[in-house]
Amino acid sequence: MSENIMYADLNFPAVAGLGSRLPKDNDTQAGPVYAEVKLKPLDTSSLNTCAAPGLMSQEVNTSTKEPSQHKPGGRHCSRVCALAVGAVTILLLVTGVTLIVVYLSMAHDPSELQTVSKTTKGCPFGWTENRKSCYFFSGDRDKKSWNASMEECNKNGSKLVIINSKDELDFLKGMSEGGYYFLGLTYSNTKGKWNWIDDTELNTDIFNIAQKYSDYCCAVVGHNKVASANCNGSSSSNYMCEKPME
């Protein structure tokens, strides 16, 4: 490797006490001294591969980003969203528990279910609705005397049918085409009149009834007509009950 040679002029002032080493002349200013300084060339191979420590630290410090600062608005929004989700979750849990409690309470009390069913349908199961009234017609095998029929209707919170209009008469005729059914109408031999169980007299404008026999003191409807019948005979009839629609 070649060396670079640099020449420089060095001026040193005279120093007392050096003796004969300094030139003895009248000139107070020393002459120039030449010195040879040899410098090795700078090795630049390291600069091509690695940065100087100072530069590296400077680049690292320069590229380092300052920590991001969260805006106050973002934190506030996240808190509000979390509170909203929590409130909705609690509301759903409360609603679910309430529904379960109501269902279990109704399941343990069948009477409440029956009450709801009756109120919704208007008439109990097995009853027929007509003009805000409910009617029950006994089956062919459920034939009773007039007194027993009256008691059976009372058990159901109803009574034997009282006919108040021609429309009601037509409805009952249509429902009793297959047999005879006791009505809440009886004949009084002492009064000589037909009276309903509510002590009102028969309105002959609606229908008229002829008494065939002296012991036929009860009225029946069936086969598209109203007729008299034996109240306690062996040929007992079916019965029909009536009560207001709930």
CATH code where residue 142 lies: 3.10.100.10
**Is 139 part of any domain?**
yes
Q: Which residues pair with 229 in a beta bridge?
A: 218
**Phi and psi for 46 in degrees, rounded to 5?**
-70, -30
Instruction: Mark the ranges of the chain whose per-residue pLDDT is less than 50.
Output: 15-25, 27-28, 46-65, 67, 70, 108-120
Residue 64: the pLDDT is 46
Look at the chain and report how many structural domains it folds into. Answer: 1
182 within domain boundaries: yes
pLDDT tens for each residue of 106-134 = 554 444 434 334 444 589 999 999 999 99
In a domain, 150, yes or no: yes
Residue 8 amino acid letter: A
Q: Does some domain include residue 190?
A: yes
Give the per-residue pLDDT at 54: 47
Which residue segment(s) compose the domain that 138 sits in?
Answer: 128-244
Residue 165 is assigned to a structural domain of this protein: yes
For residues 9 and 24, give the distance between their C-alpha atoms in angstroms, rounded to a whole number.
Answer: 21
Task: Tell me how far CA of residue 124 lies from CA of 165, 177, 238, in angstroms.
Answer: 24, 23, 20
With respect to residue 217, please indicate whether it lies within any of the assigned structural domains. yes
Give a yes or no: residue 115 inside a domain.
no
Does residue 233 fall inside a structural domain? Answer: yes
Report pLDDT for 22. 47
